[in-house]
Amino acid sequence: MSATVLALFGATGVQGAPIVRHARAAGFRVHALVRDAGRLSTPVDSVVIGDVDQRDSVRRVLEGANAASIHLPIDFDSDRASARLDTILEAARLAGVTRLVYNVAGPVPASPTGLAALDLNLKRVQAIRSFSADCVVLVPQLYLDNMLAPWCVAAICAGVLAYPPLPADFAVGWTSTGDFARLAVAAVADRTLPGGVFDAVASRDNASSVAAVLQRSRGYDVRFTPSTLDVFTEGLARALGERDAEAIAGFYRWMLEDGEPFPVVDSAFRAFGVQPVTMKEWVQSQTVWIAKSRQPS
């Protein structure tokens, strides 16, 4: 292993917490920048209390690191989001860290679209790739773990899959946060592997096939009944605010308008030698969807 110290941004989040766990299991020392150390689900070797808006905190977490894993907070204020990434890149340059593994957390278009979230992703990827050819950009489409949101769990236990807000036969790329974490760790474990932009898609399934897997694995009827994009956006707005909800909904609107999902051009799983779990294996590893009346006493 050529990289032994991993600086981690987003260590307490849904995507970042599994990276801590897999990095520690792989023998990495982990330096984490967090706002609240109490939210760390796995112990790390060094904690910097701060925020990505604070240059000194970002600098300190990168000191002595060989590589960094970056997942930024949800924020579609383009100027603020770009400034946060610029702060990390400048600190990485000063620390001599060139192996950055960046989770775009959504699709990346080939050119500007006029949609805030997509254009921000494109801008960030261009900045990362300009920083160093050693950087690895991982591009997921949808996380399987999105189905673990409380409202989605409650619906599935009642026999209804209401996510994603897309037609039943519209196939999209799915990845679990656990498999994504394994990719991130693999990307820094062997520095002989090249940098680049890689599709982090473990499987491609439409919602009807996902519902069928849930039904077979859980032993009760599950049907796909999608919410409209308007209803989906309203729900997001209650949790995230109207601006961020509209930006996230833009991903789905763009996919629908484009008429087909993104092709998997360069698979991260193939490039970094990681075997993802299947949809069936992931579903069977979860217990939250078992209705109380069906749980063993």
Contact (CB, 8 A) for 164 and 226: yes
Q: DSSP strand E in the chain: where?
A: 5-9, 29-34, 46-49, 67-70, 99-103, 136-139, 142-143, 160-161, 172-175, 196-199, 203-205, 223-224
Task: Give residue limits of the domains in the chain.
Answer: 5-294
Q: Under DSSP, is residue 30 helix (H, G, I), strand (E, B) or coil?
A: strand
For residue 264, name the pLDDT band (cuts at 50, 70, 90): low
What is the token pair recorded at 197? 């932009």
* 154-174: pLDDT as tens digits: 999 999 999 999 999 998 899
Looking at the chain, the number of H-run helices and the number of E-run strands are: 11, 12
Comparing 263 with 214, the larger pLDDT belongs to 214
- What percentage of the chain carries pLDDT values higher than 90? 65
Class of domain 5-294: alpha beta
Residues β-bridged to residue 73: none
pLDDT > 90? residue 126 = yes
What is the token pair recorded at 81? 């989001």
Q: What's the mean pLDDT in 19-37? A: 94
For residue 292, name the pLDDT band (cuts at 50, 70, 90): very low
For residue 261, name the pLDDT band (cuts at 50, 70, 90): low
Say what the pLDDT of residue 17 is.
93
Query: Model-level pTM?
Result: 0.91
Residues β-bridged to residue 137: 102, 197
